[in-house]
A and B are shown apart, each in its own frame.
Chain A
Amino acid sequence: MPLIDELTSTLGSARVHSHPLELMVYNKDAGVTTGDVAVAILPETTQEVAACVRIARRYGVPVVARGAGTGLAGGAVPVQPSLLMVLTRMNQIWEVDTQAQTAWVGPGVLNLDLSRHTDHLGLHYAPDPSSQAACTIGGNVGTNAGGPHCLAEGTTVAHIHAVEMVTADGDIVTLGEKAPDPVGLDLRAVVVGSEGTLGIVTKVLVKLTENPPAVRTMLLTFDSIQAAAATVSGTIAAGIVPAALEMMDQPMVIAVENFIHGGLPVDATAVLLAEVVGLDAGVDAEAEVIERIANDAGATSVRIAADDEERALLWKARKNAFGAVAQAAPDYYLHDTVVPRTRLVEVMTKIYEIGERYEIKMLNVFHAGDGNLHPLVAYDAREPGASERVKAAAEEMVRVSVAAGGSLTGEHGVGIEKRDLMGIVFGPVDLDAQARLREAFDPDNSLNPGKILPLGSRCYDYGLVSDPWQESS
């Protein structure tokens, strides 16, 4: 096949994989969709990426970028036979600037490795997805990834100063810079979260954040979701934006306890994990306020981690939640919707109802502080009809979130999973504008086609939108 021959002559045969058995490693992510990889390549430099984009273009083969494949929405799963750019080998940390608190890194650098690399300088990279030990910065940029500590610090886009990327034409362009407020349109912000549909990101200038001098991590237990949610709203209303504010329901706490044996409160209906950071004086005062609010809301216990070891254990419980579910059932489906924080209880109640109606086993662990829900459904895909029931329930959960003023995804991205639901959040004119934006970068739809936008988004030219004068009169 001439495409593969050309790629091989550019990268060498060891970095070009086209055997069906080799491709099985690459045709899915951590979610539930499977895709179609024609050839997977492992470029090591920006120039190689650019050269391979140009080769693929000549053959009319779409190009899909991929990091570690920990995504859950299918963003890196090709929907048609594609050239898959696996960017894990581009894992250099090029520069750390302690004065500007930035680092230039390759897209293949692992999220946690970056924070470990800069720890001795008193700096870390703030967004911390649960998969942070495995996921790459490039993947984080693609999905605009979140994590527990995005409550106070914002998701990935707030931590990216610039990206170097290869365009659909195979050109290399840098968007953004180390100095604040680069002039012109902020294309960097659009590329972050674009799931590889606007360009292939080959270098990232990240913002680093000062390690806090003091941390207090608290575990609060409640006998109802309502009481836990009241503590969440009460904390924010008291003027505290904690570094993290996470909730787990009882089924999840039990699953995690069976997995890590950390003495977690398995009797509680809901558990909150709250973390405040700052100066010693500040964190103690904030922890006291949270404790008081929790007690007023009817907390059954409040435990403050006594030392780093206990703190690490509490976070281990939170971040191993998804791994823990593996013992409950062979397959899981992890949702990601977002609602206004004040609608948490209402939406959670409906989500539990949906779970019961579809008779599915559901566990919850989520970013309560910013209203980012993650119902997790454990199931056995071999059981007839199970996958269909899980999918139908998932769509209902998305719809109740949106009906409460929420949206499709808080941090996982749209990918394939939520693509066809975009129309419940955005109108045809909104989707058309997004499609035009995408076309401005990639007129031929050659980069990760079939993602984010439902087919037919580009509707305006076909007269589906009426004259605004008519609408307004």
Chain B
Amino acid sequence: MTVLKNELAKLAKGMLQELPAGAPDADFAVSPDRAQDVAAVLRFASDHRLKVLFWGGGTHQGLGYPVVPDVVVSTAQLNSVVDWQAEDLTIVVEPGVLVADLEAQLEQRGQTAVLPESPGAATVGGVVASGLSGWRRLRYGPTRDRVLEVVLATGDGRVVRGGGRLVKNVTGYDLPRLATGSLGSLGLITSVCLKLWPLTAERAMFEVGDPAAVMRTAYRPYAVIETNTETTVYVAGTAAEIEAQAARIGGHPVSGHRWPDPLQGLFNLLVRVPAGAIPDAVTLIRQEGWRFQAAHGVGEIRLAVDDHDAAAILSLRQWAESVGGGLVVARVPEGSALDPWGLPPDSLDLQRRVKAAFDPVGIANPGKLPGGI
């Protein structure tokens, strides 16, 4: 490894750095500041069959099978806002930009990228690569629908651009959406163009008793979140619209505006079911006494489990799979044998081939996806 390390150090021209905090042990870590440099590192890794783990804020590293890396590539130095066209509702950013920083900057001009709320140290690259969405997806759709352009340093060291910096565009295959949620399996996202939305004039929260009823009465709320203790409806618009929503929902807005605090447990899990199955899922989860946040109308439940009851988790997973969804592990205690994904999709063979089109040697976050792709 020393020879390789010296060779990489020579090529990497000062990109070598300490391992990011929380990253698994690796022979070396690099923090390039240009897509071409990322590509060069990946080409080197492909040539020498070195396994590469990509690292942003480290907040979503618990997703998928663990990677035992030879090299960690950090996005810490790829952290610029490249081009913000506020009037076109688009922004181009590098992956290391913190979600919280980006949203704070956008808010100053009354815009949002609708990325997950309460992101902690999450980076834009991490959120896009994980394919995670925030609570507001009920109204604005998933993160995936806002990724307009992507630049990808592929596993075999090419710099590939797909999509365009345009809110509407069908030119060529949809690489931006393919890269979203690919968990680094194709390479490292070195920049993305995101579609922005104007922030609404006013927003309000209502606490309600029956989530099913409010799904019928509220007009396109941007979130309906049920937790162990309450159900909250989030609406936005002009003051007059909020008044009209209040009349439909039947109640008064509660003061302030806040999102549920992120759940932290021994196990952090995501249950995905068809939206209509949320009430049944909530009933099952309440029986277990687990802490949960359920997104009505979307079909996602965030779950924290504090005891080592793998059998109960597996039984919930089986149920979720039986209704056409699944249960994904976001974080497990060390030594847990719980499979991170559960039932793999029936397109594994195609998925393997698609990964190989971008990462033929198989060095980019290898084995992370379902089926060990």
Q: Determine if A187 and B354 form an interchain contact, defined as CB atoms under 8 angstroms apart.
A: yes
Near B by CB (< 8 A), chain A positions 50-107 give: 97, 99-102
Report the bound CA distance from A262 to B87 in whole Å: 34
**Segment with Cβ contacts to B, from A142-150, A303-311, A324-332, A389-397:** A142-150
Chain B residues lying within 8 Å of A471, measured Cβ to Cβ, are 36
A436 to B348, CA, bound (A): 17
In contact, A434 and B178 (Cβ under 8 angstroms):
no
How many cross-chain pairs have Cβ atoms below 8 Å apart between A and B? 281
Chain A CB within 10 Å — which of B34, B145, B341 has the most? B145
Is B285 part of the binding interface, using a Cβ–Cβ cutoff of 8 Å?
A: no
Q: Which A residues are CB-close (under 8 A) to B325?
A: 177-179
Q: Does A472 contact B (CB under 8 A)?
A: yes
Chain A residues, Cβ within 8 Å of B144: 186, 189
CB atoms of B370 and A184 under 8 A apart:
yes
| B203 contacts the other chain (CB 8 A) | no
- Tell me which residues across on chain A come within 8 A of B37, comparing CB atoms: 472
Interface membership of A340, Cβ < 8 A: yes
Is there a chain B Cβ closer than 8 Å to A315's Cβ? no
Pairwise interchain contact A167-B178, C-beta atoms closer than 8 A: no
Judged by a CB distance under 8 angstroms, whether B367 is at the interface is: no
Question: Nearest Cβ distance between residue B155 and chain A, in whole angstroms?
Answer: 11
Cα–Cα, bound, A340→B220 (Å): 28
- Bound-state CA distance A380–B18 (Å) is 69
Would B275 and A99 count as touching, CB distance under 8 A?
A: yes
Q: Does A341 contact B (CB under 8 A)?
A: yes
Query: Could you tell me the distance between the alpha carbons of A405 and B182 in the complex, rounded to whole angstroms?
Result: 27
The 8 Å CB contact of A370, one of B39, B167, B346, B373, is B167
- Tell me which residues across on chain A come within 8 A of B320, comparing CB atoms: 179
Which residues of B in the span 136-171 have a Cβ within 8 Å of any Cβ on A? 137, 141-142, 144-145, 152, 154, 157-162, 164-171
Is residue B289 within 8 Å, beta carbon to beta carbon, of the partner chain?
A: no
CA distance A167 to B297 in the complex (A): 32
Judged by a CB distance under 8 angstroms, whether B259 is at the interface is no
Q: Is B210 an interface residue (CB 8 A)?
A: no
List the one stretch of B53-61, B118-126, B237-245, B306-314 in contact with chain A.
Answer: B237-245
Q: Closest CB of chain A to B172's CB: distance in Å? A: 6
Contact flags B60-86 to A (C-beta < 8 A → 1, else 0): 000000000000000000000000010
CB of A182 closer than 8 Å to a CB of B: yes
Q: Could you tell me the distance between the alpha carbons of A452 and B371 in the complex, rounded to whole angstroms?
A: 31
**Complex interface: stretch among A28-36, A41-49, A110-118, A438-446:** A438-446
Give 30 A-B contacts (CB < 8 Å), ordered by A residue.
Answer: A97-B276, A100-B274, A143-B170, A154-B141, A158-B145, A175-B350, A180-B299, A181-B132, A183-B344, A183-B345, A183-B370, A184-B344, A184-B348, A185-B182, A189-B174, A190-B178, A194-B173, A236-B89, A278-B237, A281-B244, A282-B238, A282-B244, A338-B166, A342-B87, A410-B169, A433-B162, A434-B172, A437-B173, A437-B357, A469-B36
List residues of B whose CB falls within 8 A of some A CB.
11, 34, 36-37, 39-40, 43, 85, 87-90, 110, 131-133, 137, 141-142, 144-145, 152, 154, 157-162, 164-175, 177-178, 180-182, 185, 197-201, 219-220, 237-238, 240-241, 243-245, 248, 272-276, 297-300, 320, 324-326, 328, 341-342, 344-348, 350-351, 353-358, 369-371, 373
Q: Which residues of A contact B (CB under 8 A)?
A: 97, 99-102, 143-144, 146, 150, 154-155, 157-158, 167, 173-175, 177-187, 189-190, 192-194, 210, 212-213, 233, 236-241, 278-282, 284-285, 338-342, 367, 370-372, 405-414, 418, 422, 425-427, 429-430, 432-434, 436-441, 452-453, 460, 465, 467-469, 471-472
The 10 A-B residue pairs with the shortest CB-CB distance in the complex, in nearest-first order: A99-B276, A179-B325, A189-B177, A239-B198, A281-B240, A472-B36, A436-B357, A440-B353, A282-B241, A178-B274
